[in-house]
Structure 1
Amino acid sequence: MNKNPTILLAEDEASLGMIIKESLETRNFNVVFCANGEEALQAYQQKKPDLLVLDVMMPKKDGFTVAKEVRKEDKRIPILFLTAKSQTADVVEGFSIGGNDYLKKPFSMEELIVRMDNLLQRHKLQNSDTIYTIGNYRFHFKKQTLQFEEEEIKPLTHREAHLLYHLNNNKNEVLDRSVILKKLWNNDDFFSGRSMDVFITRLRKKLKKDERIQIINVRGYGYKLVY
């Protein structure tokens, strides 16, 4: 039986922090609530959470500083920043120091939970040693490798690996374009859509050695992997 994920929530607005904590606990998350960055680092060491939700602007240590300290020990744990800041430079800084996602205030609990679930799922996949058989290919998600019979194909990028996983997990079914864009790009706008089309083209090239394998564009809906 899977244990409920433990979330470390660091938020200096006490009322907002308690609302988030209580809402998450009703969704079966275990929540460790901290009011500043120093408490958050101590709790991280003691509780070993599954995911960090860090407010950027906090006393003693801000969210970015906490993330930098955590990344010295753990390169993989998912980190989601909460912030009232909207400048592009702040978003870039958050990702550059190892953040996995960024949610601007005010936000809905539903959006927070969807983003948390996505990060937890990705983390679980990245730590899985499962090898998938796709036609005559062997796909190792954790290592992001693709092998055709005895031949190693050029390594997959992070997004190529996630996209192939979701296509294969929905084999012979249409993978909804909007859903996968929000899951992997956090946005389903035009530019994200064009970016996904490029990754689909790359995957088709890497899978072309087995003629049975096709990634079909179902216009207006999404893509379907068949083999």
Structure 2
Amino acid sequence: MANKIKLLLAEDETALGQIIKESLETRNFNVILCENGEKAFEKYKTESPEILVLDVMMPKKDGFTLAKEIRAIDHTIPIIFLTAKSQTTDVVEGFSIGGNDYLKKPFSMEELIVRVHNLVDRTKTQKTSEVITLGNFTFNFPKQQLQFKNDTSIQLTHREAHLLFHLIKNKNKVLDRSLILNKLWGTDDFFTARSMDVFISKLRKKLKKDENIQIINVRGFGYKLTE
């Protein structure tokens, strides 16, 4: 039997949290359940989970605040948000602070499990030693750092690093918008499309020191990185 995936679940609805915990544990997961963000942060530091599933609205410390604190010290652990919110700004904020995915309540356990497995597998696969040269930049993908010549390294968010990685791998070719949305976000709906536009804008700003590097919007198709 495969090793159990250690998952930290932060959910303040006691009944829902217990249902999720018990359902995951019957599917080969080791689940650490916390009822608020403060306890979740303490358990994160002591239990070393492989993935975090965080409810957005929690007492003492909400999911977004918790994710920000964790991202300040850990740039690679996958984070899934559970949310009853559906506003574009909330979804974009979740991705912007380092979330990898989100599920709107109510959701099916099967969908949560598939997304958890995809993120854990992707994280393991992409922990490589690959360091890429892009114009006058050096991009350390495993560390999620971008450095211009001998300047101080810029720390990228988890999603910025993965988006840049795929743009570089498809350099001078059009990166299909729908394809990359489904690969990195798990869906190509309106909310995630808007979120990706925000990340593209952030990457453009971080790459502007090298005037030869451009991320071109190919209307109706996607984006192309040129140098």
- Normalised by the length of structure 2, the TM-score is 0.63
Which residue of 2 is the match for residue 148 of structure 1?
Answer: none
Which residue of 2 is the match for residue 100 of structure 1?
Answer: 100
- 1:211-226 alignment runs, 5 A limit: none
Counterpart of 1:74 in 2: which secondary structure?
Answer: coil
Contact 1:11 1:34 in 2 (8 A): yes
State yes or no: 1:23 paired with 2:23.
yes
Of 158, 161, 164 in structure 1, the residue corresponding to residue 162 of structure 2 is: 158
Contact 2:101 2:185 in 1 (8 A): no
Give the 3 Å change call, closer, same or farther, for CA 74–185 of structure 1 in structure 2: closer
Which residue of 2 is the match for residue 210 of structure 1?
Answer: none
Contact 2:67 2:97 in 1 (8 A): yes
Which residue of 2 is the match for residue 113 of structure 1?
Answer: 113
Instruction: Measure, in 2, the Cα distance between the counterparts of 1:195 and 1:25.
Output: 45
Contact 2:53 2:79 in 1 (8 A): yes
Contact 1:83 1:103 in 2 (8 A): yes
How far is 1:28 from its partner? Answer: 0.5
Contact 1:127 1:142 in 2 (8 A): yes
Deviations 1:100-134 (A, max 9, x none): 11111011111111111111112112213489xxx
Q: Quick one: higher RCO (CA 8 Å, sep 6+), 1 or 2? A: 2
Give the 3 Å change call, closer, same or farther, for CA 66–160 of structure 1 in structure 2: closer
- 1:1-227 alignment runs, 5 A limit: 3-129=3-129, 142=142, 158-159=162-163, 161=165, 182-188=182-188, 198=222
Contact 2:8 2:51 in 1 (8 A): yes
The alignment of Structure 1 onto Structure 2 pairs a total of residues equal to: 173
Deviations 1:152-211 (A, max 9, x none): xxxxx734756999xxxxxxxxxxxx998644342256997x999546x77xx99xxxxx
Instruction: Measure, in 2, the Cα distance between the counterparts of 1:2 and 1:117.
Output: 12
In structure 2, give the amino acid aligned to 1:8.
Answer: L
Give the 3 Å change call, closer, same or farther, for CA 37–189 of structure 1 in structure 2: closer
In structure 1, give the amino acid aligned to 2:14.
Answer: A
Percent identity, aligned pairs only, is 62
Instruction: Measure, in 1, the Cα distance between the counterparts of 2:220 and 2:10.
Output: 33
Structure 2 unaligned residues grouped into runs of 5+: 132-139, 145-160, 170-177, 194-217
Give the 3 Å change call, closer, same or farther, for CA 113–197 of structure 1 in structure 2: farther
Instruction: Measure, in 2, the Cα distance between the counterparts of 1:65 and 1:109.
Output: 25
Instruction: Measure, in 2, the Cα distance between the counterparts of 1:5 and 1:11.
Output: 18
Instruction: Measure, in 2, the Cα distance between the counterparts of 1:99 and 1:181.
Output: 14
Q: Provide the aligned C-alpha RMSD in A.
A: 3.4
